[in-house]
Amino acid sequence: MSGNALVDPSNPSLRSWVSGASDADGDFPIQNLPYGTLDGGPAVRIGNRALCLRDALDAGLFVKKLSSNDDFLMALDVAWLNGLAELEPEQLKMLRWNLAHFFAEGSPLRKQVEPLLRDADAAAEDAPFVVGDYTDFYASLHHATNVGSMFRPTNPLLPNWKHVPIGYHGRGSSIVPSGTGVTRPHGQTVTSDDGPPSFGPTKLLDYELEVGFFVGRGNELGTTIPVADAWNHIFGFVLVNDWSARDVQKWEYQPLGPFLAKNFATTVSPWVVTREALEPYRVPGPPRTVDDPKVLAYLDDPNGCNLDVTLEVFISSATMRAQGLASTLISRASFRDMFWTPAQMLAHHASNGCNMQAGDLLASGTVSGTTKDSRGCLLERTWRGAEPITLGDGSERKFLLDGDEVIMRGYCVKAGLPRIGFGECRGIVLPAKS
């Protein structure tokens, strides 16, 4: 292995010398190489360690085609991943392969790279992107059916749901990195459907288990992103917790949909798993039944895919943490079950000429499956509080209490391939401010 070389990280037999990179139950083998931020600049994670890309550049470790490229150099001079996401596909491929060369077993660069590595868990303190715009979808058939049946038992799905990916425009400024405390929000709530309302802290605080993706290459205002090309406009994926105040949501959502019930905080995991790393875990989008309407041509993508990502939610109460008790598994679902695919969501968003930009975040909406233990929020999991769940300390939950910590995890497994993970997406509920 020469000092100035590239290595294909998609090789399933490739191994790394970095601590934790070869753990069977680890999230970050050499085949993953997700991006985040470290000391005010782009970084890459492998195993338990992280490398600031600027440090590698200053040490002269990148191949000449990268180290002399103006776009690449500019991307490393900003604190977030927006510039990196705008690089040409060949540049991103070269960067990924160059990084794999750093970390591969037998790399002649080990002695130069190893002193530059930092503790990965202490590295990512910020959200990975400056998010100009955030859009949240409602793409799970099982979630939409469950929620609809609570409020419209005879007509759970509205007539448009299987024709159009439903979404709402969120708040980019309240996207927070994993580990940030989430203050219980205030809002208008009612005791009867007709009001009158009162104003105060939400009593029905909930999480939503979601997968998000960041846009890489965007489109100009007035143009579109064809669904067949939309996958190639995605830079990478993260876990998303779209915190929700259900009592506020119930009163405000008609007629224009979610507003203050959801824009007070959205938590994202710190390491962005690239589209390239997830290629082996692509699965066909869910088949439509003979009773389902045919999608319109602009959404018809014969090669469209979902991702086979296992998603888990855990809750740990303040008492459990004080007693050293393990967090309680609340649900386990799979992203492969989504009715609308990431490509369809992105293509639909741009179909009216809306200009998508690097760093825009699109989230899937709650990921739920067919069973009770695969429901991705407490609204479903406890069926509006009628079926409370029991935590490891014996306490019951209908909705979240102050001090509760929600931990989300996601990972891909496939025979013959290493496990690829997303790490954790965490947040503790803080008391409402007076």
Spell out the domain ranges in the chain: 1-126, 134-430
The span from the CA of 338 to the CA of 209, in Å, is: 13
What's the pLDDT score for residue 394?
97
* Encoded amino acid at 156, one letter: P
| Edge-to-edge strands, sheet with 182-183 | 182-183, 420-430, 405-412, 310-316, 328-334
Residue 133: its pLDDT value, please?
96
Q: Tell me the fold of 1-126.
A: SH3 type barrels. (2.30.30)
Cβ atoms of 205 and 222 within 8 Å: the answer is: no
Give the DSSP letter of residue 185. P
Task: Please compute the mean of the pLDDT values over residues 26-41 and round it to a whole number.
Answer: 95
Choose the weakest-confidence range: 124-138, 163-177, 226-240, 329-343: 124-138
For residue 43, the model assigns a pLDDT of: 96
Which structure tokens are listed for 155?
């007509």
Q: Provide the CATH number for the domain formed by 134-430 in this structure.
A: 3.90.850.10
- Measured in whole angstroms, the distance separating CA 336 from the mean position of its chain's CA atoms is 14
Structure token digits, residue 100: 């794999």
Q: What is the DSSP string of 10-60?
A: T-TT--BSSTTTT-TT-S--TTT--EEESSSSEEEEETTEEEEHHHHHHTT
339 and 417 Cβ atoms separated by less than 8 Å:
no
CB contact at 8 A, 377 and 206: yes
Q: What is the pLDDT of residue 125?
A: 66
Sign of CA dihedral 102, 106, 109, 115: positive
Instruction: Residue 426: name the closest of 204, 243, 285, 221 by CA.
Output: 243
| Residue of 143, 233, 348, 349 marked active site | 143
User: Quick one: pLDDT at residue 124?
Assistant: 59
pLDDT at 152: 85
Instruction: Among 1-5, 58-62, 184-188, 282-286, name the one with the lowest average pLDDT.
Output: 1-5
What pLDDT was estimated at residue 286?
Answer: 84
The rounded mean pLDDT for the chain is 95
Question: Which of 153-167, 174-188, 226-240, 348-362 has the lowest average pLDDT?
Answer: 153-167
The DSSP code for 397 is E
Q: Which pTM value belongs to this model?
A: 0.96
By the 8 A CB rule, do 144 and 366 touch? no
pLDDT computed for residue 123 by the predictor: 63
The per-residue DSSP string of 308-376 comes to: --EEEEEEE-HHHHHTTPPPEEEEEEEGGG-SS-HHHHHHHHHTTS----TT-EEE------SSGGG--
Q: What is the per-residue pLDDT for 287?
A: 82
Is the pLDDT at 35 greater than 90, yes or no? Answer: yes
Catalytic site includes residue 186:
no
CA 246 centroid distance within chain: 22
**Other beta carbons less than 10 A from residue 300's beta carbon:** 12
Whole-number Å distance between alpha carbons of 42 and 76: 6
**Phi–psi pair at 270, nearest 5 degrees:** -80, -20
Strand partners, 307: 282
Q: Which two tokens stand for residue 151?
A: 């409020």
Taking phi over 0 as left and psi of -120 to 50 as alpha, with beta for the rest, 33 belongs to: left
* SS3 category, 94: helix
Q: Minimal CA–CA distance to 1: which of 21, 17, 12?
A: 17
Q: Do 363 and 346 touch, CB atoms closer than 8 A?
A: no
